[in-house]
Structure 1
């Protein structure tokens, strides 16, 4: 029987995985500088967590979750996003009780959504995200947005566009909600069944509908910015000023609502302009969720965060012909000729690896010429050659591949010699 990889998933093979490692390390280093700490949560959670945390009117909950029953009859779901799990952990482990607040966390890990696979959108994908819990200061809104923008900037991406909006506080959203219901209700039968259900539960989500986005009522729908109260307006103005002071350009889009139910006040997306990226131009998005912690059973705690897809990031880098500084080179390749030499060569490799060198050798009894070709393929900096005559003299021949220069070095001095040569 021939087994094939499930649709919407991928194998990340050597030669490509180094790119993933590089961007993940870049994310970790950036979070270190911003003082965000890594959190790792389970890949599956109780289904109710996502229904309450993500929102039962979202496409994710209604159409895209991988849900199953375990042997105890409990409903579990592979996590479709990272915020709900992070907040659940924040509540369950009482991180709100730590003396240092806000709690600033980040995660990197696989998520799962049953979507139609397409370029840059997989059923299993990897998200990098941050969550800052415990502060309602607009400064941290700007910090989270700045972190996301800086991540892309440091990787070299160009033609980025930051789009922001305010969804307002509860009072502002309620006023906007009433206006939306009055606007859509007389002609709601012209919209899809999802929008008809959302009219009563969350009419704001109608504005995010992909099926009915060209309906004439969409263009004339009431904008949230017209319903912001004074407090929400002042908050949004502070966020905009902070971004301006940081030199971060942005556009205000009153129709930006985001796809999850828990957002309020600041919402944002980072998009990419340019040819070759297809119709889906959004790289990442996030926003403030001041009611989510309470919804999951914790105390009243404000929060803000964002998440991005590593797959879409790598796709954007490829479209813009940006090469990351990754290498598959190794430091040393050991060529051993003869049975006794192979034993000595294995020990040399072991000692060099202990000293911190990347090192490999032949395991297929190839001839000298074939082993030299292997060293070339590995892009080895040095080749160490040992045969019967070298064993008798207790030396190894060290060849620097870039120059072709060779030198005999005593076996017990080889590690120190290479440490000096490579300035390690």
Structure 2
């Protein structure tokens, strides 16, 4: 027998019972970004492979192990995007929208793809919301990104469950000096490093700092600190960022081992982490990448941004029981109609009500059915109220109005007064 068709491992369907929470989260973020003056950009999910090799770095885990790369019919090497920053930089360069020092504050949303071992909160197709800002080089915009996320956590009710970690990676020159010192230190302990750290020492030594191996972490206690190698410009930038966070009252910790997994970061890096999701502790992360645009062929252009994982944040809302009660209800009012004449009238009446109350979630019964079966559907829909239209109501041009989720007697409402009555009841309900 042929194997039943299934989704690819690590690429999941988001079913109707889960999408209301996704829409709530995405809508909350989108509204917040509108309020802060960010504009949405949409990029393709497939790019030339060279884009990610040049931006992320050929010796990063993403490029070496995790990208979905293939040849198309023209023989071009293409890759499903593993992250959004490189694609966004490509887009602004291609369309020239950062030229002449134009400030751009952009955001995007969509799926990303990495071939990793699937586990809870970590998938091969995952979804991110990302922000990128170009041509602003001061710590004020770094602070705005963090303040914005702090406000988001407040709106979602999860501030107590997240912690902000900060670090500065300095300029490429100061980071180069630190890299030399770190390599010299780690080389003296080479035989004690785990196998993965030994490999990274040759390819990307800063990544050794965020190893999960306990023995290597014990060695790193005495390793050189990035803060001791910062140039004056980066030091002042970092102090400016911390001063702004202090002014707003956002708590943070300095994590000298925070380096992020991508080659393009410089100066500020940050992560919002939680202990509520097991091993997958990072829910939002980013930093400054002032050399990336130039590295990809553009003129020197400062950049800073972050990305947040939608799956992990939705999972956190579920774990902490921070799901607003109203989003679990998809229908406000369910209209039951009995008989063909009533069905015709119900269709016309429902459209009149929608004209007057465009935000009302009104579902009209389809498929006919007895009084009992239609009321069963009405109850299952989660609606607050049922409307009833039969021959008697049709003759009197009224509709039966019955509360489904609380006390109250059924009453008759004139068609012309129905919209006003629903507006009052649904808001109060």
Aligned to 2:95: 93
Give deviations 1:330-367, integer Å, cap 9, x for gaps: 23212111222222223323333343232223323321
In structure 2, how many angstroms separate the alpha carbons of the residues matched to 1:395 and 1:240?
Answer: 64
Q: What is the correspondence of 1:11-30 to structure 2 with a 5 Å cutoff?
A: 11-30=13-32
In structure 1, how many angstroms separate the alpha carbons of the residues matched to 2:138 and 2:217?
Answer: 38
In structure 1, how many angstroms separate the alpha carbons of the residues matched to 2:420 and 2:218?
Answer: 75
The 3 A distance-change label for structure 1 pair 344 and 281 is same
The 3 A distance-change label for structure 1 pair 188 and 300 is same
State whether structure 2 residue 381 is matched by structure 1 residue 378: yes
SS of the residue corresponding to residue 284 of structure 1 reads: strand
Give yes or no for contact 2:211–2:217 (8 Å, CA) kept in 1.
no
SS of the residue corresponding to residue 268 of structure 1 reads: strand
The 3 A distance-change label for structure 1 pair 43 and 346 is same
The 3 A distance-change label for structure 1 pair 386 and 319 is closer
The 3 A distance-change label for structure 1 pair 380 and 295 is same
Aligned to 1:144: 145
In structure 1, how many angstroms separate the alpha carbons of the residues matched to 2:427 and 2:253?
Answer: 49
Shift of 1:8: 0.8
TM-score normalised by length of structure 1: 0.92
Shift of 1:322: 2.1
Aligned to 2:187: 185
State whether structure 2 residue 409 is matched by structure 1 residue 405: yes
The 3 A distance-change label for structure 1 pair 264 and 213 is farther
Give yes or no for contact 1:172–1:232 (8 Å, CA) kept in 2.
no
Give deviations 1:6-30, integer Å, cap 9, x for gaps: 2112221222111111111111111
SS of the residue corresponding to residue 14 of structure 2 reads: coil
In structure 2, how many angstroms separate the alpha carbons of the residues matched to 1:233 and 1:406?
Answer: 70
State whether structure 2 residue 100 is matched by structure 1 residue 79: no
Shift of 1:408: 3.3
The answer for unaligned runs of 5 or more in structure 2 is none
Aligned to 1:395: 398
2:265 to 260, 263, 266: 263
In structure 2, how many angstroms separate the alpha carbons of the residues matched to 1:417 and 1:159?
Answer: 42
In structure 1, how many angstroms separate the alpha carbons of the residues matched to 2:153 and 2:270?
Answer: 15
Q: What is the correspondence of 1:16-55 to structure 2 with a 5 Å cutoff?
A: 16-55=18-57
Give yes or no for contact 2:139–2:237 (8 Å, CA) kept in 1.
yes
Aligned to 2:288: 288
The 3 A distance-change label for structure 1 pair 173 and 351 is same
TM-score normalised by length of structure 2: 0.91
In structure 2, how many angstroms separate the alpha carbons of the residues matched to 1:53 and 1:6?
Answer: 28
Give yes or no for contact 1:64–1:113 (8 Å, CA) kept in 2.
yes
SS of the residue corresponding to residue 77 of structure 1 reads: strand
The Cα RMSD (Å) is 2.4
SS of the residue corresponding to residue 163 of structure 1 reads: strand
Is 322-331 or 155-164 further displaced after alignment?
322-331
Aligned to 1:228: 230
State whether structure 2 residue 132 is matched by structure 1 residue 128: no
Q: What is the correspondence of 1:306-321 to structure 2 with a 5 Å cutoff?
A: 306-321=306-321
Give deviations 1:13-72, integer Å, cap 9, x for gaps: 222111111111111111112211111111111111111111112111111111111111
Aligned to 1:352: 353
In structure 1, how many angstroms separate the alpha carbons of the residues matched to 2:242 and 2:267?
Answer: 12
In structure 2, how many angstroms separate the alpha carbons of the residues matched to 1:110 and 1:306?
Answer: 15
SS of the residue corresponding to residue 14 of structure 1 reads: coil
Give deviations 1:85-115, integer Å, cap 9, x for gaps: 111111111111377x421111111111111
Question: Matched residue pairs, number?
Answer: 421
Shift of 1:135: 1.2
Shift of 1:239: 1.2
In structure 1, how many angstroms separate the alpha carbons of the residues matched to 2:32 and 2:415?
Answer: 43
SS of the residue corresponding to residue 216 of structure 2 reads: coil
Is 318-327 or 287-296 further displaced after alignment?
318-327
Shift of 1:188: 4.1
Q: What is the correspondence of 1:106-117 to structure 2 with a 5 Å cutoff?
A: 106-117=107-118
Give yes or no for contact 1:183–1:221 (8 Å, CA) kept in 2.
yes
Give yes or no for contact 1:54–1:261 (8 Å, CA) kept in 2.
yes
Give yes or no for contact 2:139–2:240 (8 Å, CA) kept in 1.
yes
SS of the residue corresponding to residue 214 of structure 1 reads: helix
The 3 A distance-change label for structure 1 pair 226 and 278 is same
The answer for unaligned runs of 5 or more in structure 1 is none
Is 335-344 or 244-253 further displaced after alignment?
335-344
